[in-house]
Amino acid sequence: MSTVSTASHILGIGAANVDVSGHPHSSPVLRDSNMGQVHTAVGGVTHNILANLALLGAGVQQLSAVGDDLYGRAVLADLRARGIDSQQVAVLPACHTATHLVVLDEQGDMLVAVSDLSIYRQLGPELLTAAQRDIERADWLVCDGSLPEALMAAISRQIAPQKPVLWDPVSTQNARRLRPYLNGLHTVTPNVYELAALTGLPVGDRRQLQLAAQYLLDAGVQAVVVTLGARGCYYCDRAGNSLFRHLPPAKQVRSAVGAGDAFAAGLLWGYCQKSAPTQCLDMALAAGLLATQHLDTVNPHMSLTALQALLRAPAVTSCNR
């Protein structure tokens, strides 16, 4: 596979926050203190997608906001260290930096999470006017569900008709907020629960999942990629492609928190290469798998070489329709 062209530039509009994760040593006991590890890192869905893309060699920039506080300074330092252009990250003295607190189970999967993303309410449509030049030079935009609805509407109306936009709903609550703004988006990447929230349809079996994804295509989305955890993903698009695809699962999972973000980054990398859908999905699946092998939300060992090695392992499997 080739490397990402230096002309490829991806602009992210969305969360850059601090992630605090707790990983118990054994099966967690509710309403009690559990011994384990507590890990703090800079995160946020858009930040994580861009950080993975930077490790793969893409040119990336983020539009977001942080508070004038310790966490905010940590976020800005992290962006600089990762090579993510942060010129359009606003520092808002009256707000505190967004924080995401997650408790994992003993297998490394999310048990429960609490997000304080109130700072993003300050991001309005005027952000797009200030960043017009950056938007014009971007090949792709990636957004997440943390954005306020006025900004979501502006992106849907003003940006999506001109630039391909990939949107990660982030949560079921945010997925419901995205419903009115689907038309014109290039790709939406929900998990099964977010797909149900986004469409209001049942997704209990394979056929129902396909019908729900088709609902999004009918609403104006060009491609839908539903992440299915260890079962891989389902892809469909307006060109008529429809397939389930997966890699052999990891033997051990350190943390699954960043898998979805890495998946989206791998997918975008494939898009930037103008690869076929199956190749894009392979890169996405490999990136998601690699993300689970490290406690950090963004695996520092993410690279094209590492992804290619995963794809040389036992064959990826695909099932049309």
For the chain, which domains are there?
A: 9-29+36-123+139-320 (3.40.1190.20)
Q: Which two tokens stand for residue 27?
A: 């099966």
Q: Given this model, what pLDDT does residue 6 score? A: 45
pLDDT for residue 291 is more than 50:
yes
The predicted model gives 42-69 an average pLDDT of: 97
The predicted model gives 221-226 an average pLDDT of: 98
Q: Given this model, what pLDDT does residue 319 score? A: 59
User: d(Cα 52, Cα 297) in Å, to the nearest integer?
Assistant: 10
Answer yes or no: are the C-beta atoms of 291 and 261 closer than 8 Å.
Answer: yes
Flag the least confident range among 36-50, 167-181, 227-241, 247-261: 247-261
pLDDT tens digits for 91-130? Answer: 999 999 999 899 999 888 889 999 899 999 999 999 999 9
pLDDT for residue 162 is more than 70:
yes
Q: Given this model, what pLDDT does residue 26 score? A: 94
Q: Length of the chain, please?
A: 321
Q: Which two tokens stand for residue 196?
A: 């149900």
Q: Given this model, what pLDDT does residue 320 score? A: 57
Torsion of CA 132, 137, 140, 144, to 10 degrees: -30
Cα–Cα nearest to 227, from 302, 146, 166:
166
The predicted model gives 139-151 an average pLDDT of: 96
The predicted model gives 71-80 an average pLDDT of: 98
Per the model's pLDDT, the better-predicted residue between 297 and 237 turns out to be: 237
Q: Given this model, what pLDDT does residue 155 score? A: 97
